[in-house]
A and B are shown apart, each in its own frame.
Chain A
């Protein structure tokens, strides 16, 4: 028993010793835990605090408000509007169809919309916000915002979106903005970080694209606290960016509106230039399109309508389009010959109705010929043979040189897309372009603005302006940048003798005001707005000898796309020119019948800064003109208010 007692005591002691051993082991490990805690929380605390901040703080860019575009009087041409959107994040929504069904009681969402949205949401990343609806009214937006707590994953956002209040009027010159694409980014060497903002709008075309750097502004930065899903929990601080610069254009919104309306359904282009400083007052191409459609994302049906239209609404015919200038080119040939001294202003050339060149006959438009014509008569009646003759005397190289001096065959530096250089052909050009020698027949064709000669409506307007002023004025579009007016460039003299210019101007005056002028029907009767101009009718087909023998088919009997282009260039007032206008009507028929009345009305609207008084029109035309002007679909004057434009 005592032995057993001894054993028990011994076992108990050993157990206590072993208990100490176990306790010590445990104590040692707990010591290690405490040491590790010290290591992480005290020695490396700074490092981990940095990592924690990296986790929670995200730097987000604040898109800047895009600069506004205004016309010369301050009328808003491109602005920004609040865009109320509703987005959904799939990850935060347990039941996507259920949430959308709830939403459809607040917004007009059809079953079809919902099905489309569900497909879209399934396809995209669960963490990305998907736009359910945008461009909501304030009412719809607030209805959703109020109910947001009951709609998991649904959030409301306000952004700025580009808006073009005059819709189609400025579509070609302003272009439009659209969400930046991967393709856009691939073209840039050092893309601005703000372009990473999803659906950030950048200029795609026209001034919006060319002045992108000026209009865009710079992004602001905000620091936000995000959760592990990247959702913003709160904003820590922000630094606002710089808004884009405002751009004031030389354009006149009302004149532009009139121009587009006056061109109407024709496939046409017109340009009006202020002769004081080369500022473009209006530049329009019809038919046009609504750039707002592109900002919002155009539907494929709408897009197909635009691309399948044979009048090519998407093309900017004013600067991209290059047309044979036809007889409007005759001033170039005339000045080249006058300056070269191969003909005098009063010297007459006999026109039998054609010029024989070897076995080829070059016809005058008037089969019977014009008889003996001097320079003024040749322009007034648009005699072709006169120009065949003087062109042979002066040679193509001098004609091409004169064309470039007057602005044809040179690229005018304008912030518009795809500005065409046109063609002022000469020997070297043909050799380089076709590898062929220049032949005399080419010279004859070029003399009357056919053959290789191509000019854009812009170039024709510039030509008219340079003829009117005798100065090498350059077209310009930007009047002021960020409220700082741009210095008006001083146009250097053309270096053409005043006498020669005066002779050509006299011919242009006779075109409208002479008894036999080709555009005398479009003359004005008010002494303060006497016009000078030149018609042009350029063939888009060759007239064969057989056809000519059978009698040239009248334009009206041809299919539209084979009819002649109708052109007209003009300026006024004759003795103190202020505005030059060019009009090209594609396949319009004759320049005098189709283009000249359009050009006259645009020119008069520009001169009178509004609809001209009927008294300036010949009395026989007044009733017809009144009806025309009264029924024109002009925009409501309230859309041209200039005051109180706030930067949205």
Chain B
């Protein structure tokens, strides 16, 4: 239901779409991004030009992209889902090929001034593809093995390509994001039970494989897991980052040390303070109050997306909204879990806040889809 509760027989058209934009969502996104600008200004030692200004410019570009996508009818996006998915998978293959052609372990393609990271785009196009699939599929068939196998393959193909880059963090996000769309689409919970069971088995297999000839993941990934399990064991080596991150966060206390007064971040004890660990700067300078407020903003964004999906009778639009919201949630969960020492360090930025080019644009593209689904939902 729109907050402007005048019912229309059909979806709005032309300039009237502006009235039906989910404005609270837009303002929340703006608010969270502004927190990001503030923190980027702080970690640069009070300098706008280092990180904050480029981030603002990217946000502005992203905002335009979001509205363009949002005002475009959702049907158009539904129609482009398959093309988008196949195209992104091909880009992943291209990155892989160029990588093997001796350009190093590149995760992006240079397209003029834009540095495109196909693995980031994949998060969106995978959600679109799965939503289109379940929109097309007879709801009665969703739990039949063959019809479950197809989306599983749709998820595994890009996941495998991203894993090979190697980018463990994004791989897990694709798996979890795709799984969430399948869950919402109504696939029997038994499948999920089976996957979780297999996953547990697989994890134990990974640990079993350590040091053998069939070792399943890289040594540095093992070390990250070790570090996660016991950061204090190696406080000057691999565990240093997470230890310093926890010190920054914990020392913020209830109300923080004050804007630009965080000793851990201002004196550079905190690593990656403008990207993965930016939340720790916020928590150090604004304390528990600041941290919980940002978390609340995130909850509101996810909550509004879910509410929009609940009220959307268009199956594609709703599924895309759930998918995007879940992808957004996963970024928050993995990043915050990581910086608070609950999850291993996998290199996932904090959405809308961390300094980063592609991530910001991709996220706003995702929210563009959410807006499109919201504006053009059936009445």
Binding site for B on A (CB under 8 A): 7-8, 10-12, 14-16, 18-19, 21-23, 26-27, 29-30, 32-34, 36-38, 40-42, 44-45, 47-49, 51-53, 55-56, 225-229, 233
Contacts and interface: CB of A to CB of B under 8 A. Distances in A.
25 contacts: A8-B139, A11-B315, A15-B315, A15-B318, A18-B185, A22-B184, A22-B322, A26-B302, A26-B333, A30-B299, A30-B332, A33-B295, A33-B333, A33-B336, A36-B340, A37-B283, A37-B288, A41-B253, A41-B283, A41-B288, A49-B250, A49-B251, A55-B269, A225-B267, A227-B267
B183 A56 contact: no
B83 interface: no
B340 A33 contact: yes
Contacts of B368: none
Contact of A11 (B186, B252, B254, B292): B186
User: Which 8 residue pairs across A and B have the least CB separation, nearest first?
Assistant: A48-B250, A11-B139, A52-B251, A45-B253, A41-B288, A228-B268, A227-B267, A48-B251
Interface string B303-314: 100100110010
Interface in B207-255: 244, 246-254
B231 to A, nearest CB: 12
B326 interface: yes
Contacts of A38: 288
Contact of A19 (B248, B298, B310, B340): B310
B263 interface: yes
A7 B140 CA distance: 8
A27 B183 CA distance: 16
B366 interface: no
Nearest to A52: B251
A52 B322 contact: no
In terms of DSSP, what is the predominant structure of the interface of chain A?
A: helix
B247 A42 contact: no
B186 A18 contact: yes
Interface in B166-211: 180, 183-186
Nearest to B271: A228
A4 to B, nearest CB: 10
A7, A11, A52, A233 — most chain B CB neighbours (10 Å): A52
A49 B254 CA distance: 12
Contact of B309 (A11, A19, A45, A229): A19
A45 B342 contact: no
A605 to B, nearest CB: 63
A225 B253 CA distance: 20
Contacts of A52: 247-248, 250-251, 263-264, 269
A22 B326 contact: yes
A56 B315 contact: no
A32 B336 CA distance: 11
B252 A228 contact: no
B258 to A, nearest CB: 14
Given A15-B185, A45-B250, A55-B247, A37 B340 contact: yes
Given A11-B315, A55-B263, A228-B269, A40 B329 contact: no
Given A30-B332, A41-B287, A227-B269, 13 more contacts: A15-B185, A15-B318, A15-B319, A19-B310, A23-B303, A37-B292, A40-B246, A40-B249, A40-B340, A42-B254, A44-B250, A45-B253, A228-B268
B183 A51 contact: no
B250 A41 contact: yes
Contacts, number: 135
Given A29-B333, A30-B299, A41 B254 contact: yes
B62 interface: no
B142 to A, nearest CB: 8
Nearest to A55: B269
Contact of B251 (A15, A21, A34, A51): A51
* Among A14, A15, A32, A42: residue with most chain B CB under 10 A: A15
B183 A18 contact: yes
A51 B315 contact: no
A32 B139 contact: no
Contacts of B291: 37, 41
B344 to A, nearest CB: 15
Interface string B68-96: 00000000000000000000000000000
Interface in B241-297: 244, 246-254, 263-264, 267-269, 283, 287-288, 291-292, 295
Contacts of A36: 337, 340, 342
Contacts of B326: 22, 26
Nearest to B187: A18
B315 A48 contact: no
B337 A229 contact: no
Contact of B269 (A12, A26, A56): A56
Nearest to B180: A22
A11 B316 CA distance: 12
B268 A40 contact: no
Contacts of B332: 30
B320 to A, nearest CB: 12
Contact of A30 (B140, B247, B333): B333
Contacts of B246: 40, 48
Contacts of A225: 263, 267
A33 B342 CA distance: 9
A18 B143 CA distance: 14
A30 B302 CA distance: 11
A15 to B, nearest CB: 6
Contacts of B283: 37, 41
A226 B251 contact: no
B337 A33 contact: yes
Interface in B131-164: 139-140
A38 B336 CA distance: 13
Contacts of A51: 247, 250-251
A18 B186 CA distance: 7
A56 B251 CA distance: 12
Contact of B313 (A12, A14, A44): A12
Contacts of B333: 26, 29-30, 33
Given A26-B302, A37-B340, A49 B253 contact: yes
A582 to B, nearest CB: 63
A449 to B, nearest CB: 69
A508 to B, nearest CB: 76
A23 B267 contact: no
A53 B247 CA distance: 10
A56 to B, nearest CB: 4
Contacts of B267: 55-56, 225-228, 233
B322 A34 contact: no
Nearest to A14: B186
Nearest to A10: B139
A345 to B, nearest CB: 84
A59 to B, nearest CB: 16
A52 B283 CA distance: 14
B252 to A, nearest CB: 6
Contacts of A44: 250
Contact of B263 (A11, A40, A56): A56
Nearest to B186: A14
Contacts of B250: 40-41, 44-45, 47-49, 51-52
B86 to A, nearest CB: 26
B185 A26 contact: no
Contacts of A19: 184, 306, 309-310, 318, 322
A26 B268 contact: no
Contacts of B264: 52, 55-56
A26 B186 CA distance: 17
A40 B244 CA distance: 13
Given A22-B322, A228-B267, A45 B252 contact: yes
A233 B342 CA distance: 33
Nearest to B333: A29
A32 B263 contact: no
A41 B249 contact: yes
Interface in B307-354: 309-310, 313, 315, 318-319, 322, 326, 329, 332-333, 336-337, 340, 342
A37 B140 contact: no
